[in-house]
Structures are given as C-alpha cells and as structure tokens.
Amino acid sequence: MEMNIDGQHDPIVFFDVETTYPNPGQDTILYEFGSIYVCPRRLIELKSYSTLIRPDDLDTLPDLSYKGITRKDLASAPHFSQVADTIYDILHDRIWAGHNIEDFDCARIKEAFDGINKPAPEYRHLIDSQHLLTDWFGKRAGNMKQLDSLAAYFGSKEQVHRSLDDVRMNLEVVKHCGAVLFLEAMCPEILPQTSWISPNEVSIHSTYAIPTSFYDGNPKIRIMHRDIDLKLHCNRLKVRFGIRKFDNGTHFRGGCLFTFM
C-alpha cells in the first residue's frame, strides 16, 4: 500500500513485539514483531508489516496454541537475522509509538539486534501511550500498563496478544482516549473530567468482587461498584487488598483495608 500523508509529516510507527515470559534468570524469547505506519494528521493506518520469528531453540518455547501459534508455524518462520534489515528499515530514525514500549519493547528490539551483532535501530522521537495516557487520561480505566484494561473500558474486543492486532488496538485506544479528553476539555460543565468517586459515595450493598484472569491464566479479582469497576479518589486514602487463610487452613477470605492518612 502506498503511503499518503497529509502535509510534510513523517508517519508514526506503532509497533509491538511478542515474547515469552521467562523464569528468573532466563532471557525473553522474541517470536513475533508487528508494526503499522500511521498518518499523524489523520490517525489512519497506511501500511502494515508482521512476521513470526523462529527462535534459536524451539524446545525452550512454552505452548502458544492459545494464541493460535504452533511449533510448526515457528519452525517455518524466518530467523531474526533474516528479517532484521526489514525491521531496521521500518524503525530507524522514525517516530516510535506503542504501549509500554519504553520499558519493554525497545529493550527487546535492542537485545535481538545485539544477538546477531548488528546495530539496533534508533528512534527520532518516542511516544509511549502507557505514560502518555496515565498522565493525561488518568487511571480511570484501571491498570494502565495493560492495554486490555483500556480496551475493555471502551468496550473493544478482548486483546489477543498478537503483534499486529495489538498495535491496531493501541491506535484505536489512543483515538478513543483523545476523543474523551477533547470532549471533557470542550464541555467541562456537561462532562466531568474523571469517573473516580470519593469513599463517601460508596455503597456497601452495591459493592462486590468477581473473579477474572489475565490472558495467561493468572487469577485476578475485580472490585465492582454498581456494575462498573470501583475507582476511589481521595488524596489521603491508602487501600490494601489481601487474602487471608482461616485458622483451619481450608478457607480463604479477602478484604479491603481503607486507611486515611
């Protein structure tokens, strides 16, 4: 697809890498890269690229079937050295964008290039949507580190944790957040700038917990208030949530402790 950009602006490169989650002392294994070029004036996708990446040792990979990836897929995928030049051309001297890329994805890209003794691409500017949206959108959508929390807040489909799907979801989330912030700024008397509530507004009878899980199966609990995620705001409030075992060792009980400083 030919890139058509309004004005003289270079495209923004939204990208994402998928890696294993290693045990302590192990390295991450990069097995997928995906990117899209985005017009900065219209925020539309111009061009995309994605590839699976064959690791050095397939036997070290965990089961990825829940993502629709098989060992056969990875066995026939190119090694990173075979796609490094393409990825370098996509990224080098561009504006990089992505969710949590400053702390995670950028380091994984550098590690991959270091592993084949080639210079890693460098960005001209970096836009990390996690930091950007935490500062400007607040934590109203829950855990801002998790892109799926933001997607769920806007009623989007569940994050599938595949590179190209995730970068497209990232772009849509940025658009949604930008639209909300614009409306709140333009219509402050109609739209409140936060969905947080004070502790005095919490109804105990309307508060409950539901079990959920991360995409990798780790358990998680959501605290709900009137069918939406409970979000409290108080400058002097500290909240601790924990699970305690009964004396007989057979039952568990969870609870919240609210402390005003």
Distance CA 258, CA 252 (A): 20
Exposure of 141 by Cβ count < 10 A (0-12 exposed, 13-18 middle, 19+ buried)? buried
Name 101's Cβ contacts closer than 8 Å, sequence gap at least 6.
15, 16, 126, 128
| Active-site residue flag, 161 | yes
Provide Rg for the chain, Cα atoms.
Answer: 21
Tell me the one-letter amino acid at 80: F
Task: Given the residues 161, 176, 205, 233, select the one marked as catalytic.
Answer: 161
DSSP state of 21: -
Q: Is residue 197 within 8 Å of residue 237, measured between CB atoms?
A: no
Tokens 């060792």 identify what position? 249
Q: Which residues are catalytic?
A: 161
